[in-house]
Amino acid sequence: MAGKVNILNKQIFTEAHKRKAPVVETEGQLLVDLSHTIQDGLVTYKGLPAPIICDYLSRADSKQYYDEGTEFQIGKIELVTNTGTYIDCPFHRYENGKDLSEVDLSAFVGLDAVVIRVPYTQGLEITEEHLKNKEIRNRAVLIHTGWDAHWNTELYYENHPYLTEAAAEYLAACAVKLVGIDSHNIDCTTRRTRPVHTTLLGAQILIVEHLCNLASLPEEGFTFTAAPPKFKGVGTFPVRAFASIKKTLG
């Protein structure tokens, strides 16, 4: 038995994510997968329906159409476009903004990128002060908060890291190409306004939400790719986001 215990000089440490980041080594580069896996029943945003992933034509049923030993599967997917790791184009926020089919392919692929680390344990607001004195102009800016450690848990949806309106205005003033975050939303979701989406998409700056594995990246010296299908009339869609890091000799 013990009486009253006072704990002094307490420090909270964030445990490293147990999911090993998928890294593929190819000749001259490392590819780091920054996307969450989308599976049947996955909830990305509470209030939006989970995807339904199933067979349209199963391998067993396909046997009736082909010779023995030849089988195929054709899948069927029903989902809202805000599922998994996804990209936002201006049409998501603005009726007359560019949709996925109208944004040039170069805006999605091989962007010179930088990681800015703002651990959620140090606060949930990402302000312009976190972004200053960083070489971000004409780059993709990826905000690493560590919030992806809570992916697919109840904690992930509430009290998540987000950018302030002033931070978005600073990024727009720096003419960045894209802004990504490993959090539930780039805006604060306890309010009915979305100033970060409004500012960035209004400036033709793409947004990628629900990234993961940013801890595996260096702060710079890599490119970022997040390419969606070429849909007309759609402003948001899942992407296979990844980074490409050139290997150094020695």
Separation between Cα atoms, residue 72 and residue 58, nearest integer Å:
7
pLDDT computed for residue 247 by the predictor: 82
Separation between Cα atoms, residue 149 and residue 82, nearest integer Å:
20
pLDDT computed for residue 2 by the predictor: 44
Residues 84 and 198 sit within 8 Å (Cβ to Cβ):
no
CB count, 10 Å around CB of 71? 14
CA angle, residues 109, 111, 114, in degrees to nearest 5: 140
β-sheet bridge partners, residue 76:
54
pLDDT computed for residue 248 by the predictor: 74
pTM of the model: 0.90
Domain 23-38+80-246: which CATH class?
alpha beta
3-state SS class at 14:
coil
Residues 99 and 235 sit within 8 Å (Cβ to Cβ):
yes
Phi, psi of 143 (to 5 degrees): -95, 115
Q: Which of 247, 225, 215 is nearest to 115 (CA)?
A: 215
pLDDT computed for residue 145 by the predictor: 98
In the numeric block, which tokens belong to residue 62?
Answer: 């396909």
pLDDT computed for residue 19 by the predictor: 53
- CATH 3.50.30.50 domain range(s) in the chain: 23-38+80-246
CA angle, residues 162, 167, 170, in degrees to nearest 5: 155
Residue 162 parent element (H or E): strand 162-163
Question: Average pLDDT per run of 10 along the chain, which is 250 residues long?
Answer: 44 42 86 98 96 98 96 98 98 98 98 98 97 97 98 96 98 98 97 97 98 97 98 98 84
In the numeric block, which tokens belong to residue 19?
Answer: 């999911």
- Report helix, strand and coil shares of the chain as percent, to nearest 5: 20, 25, 55
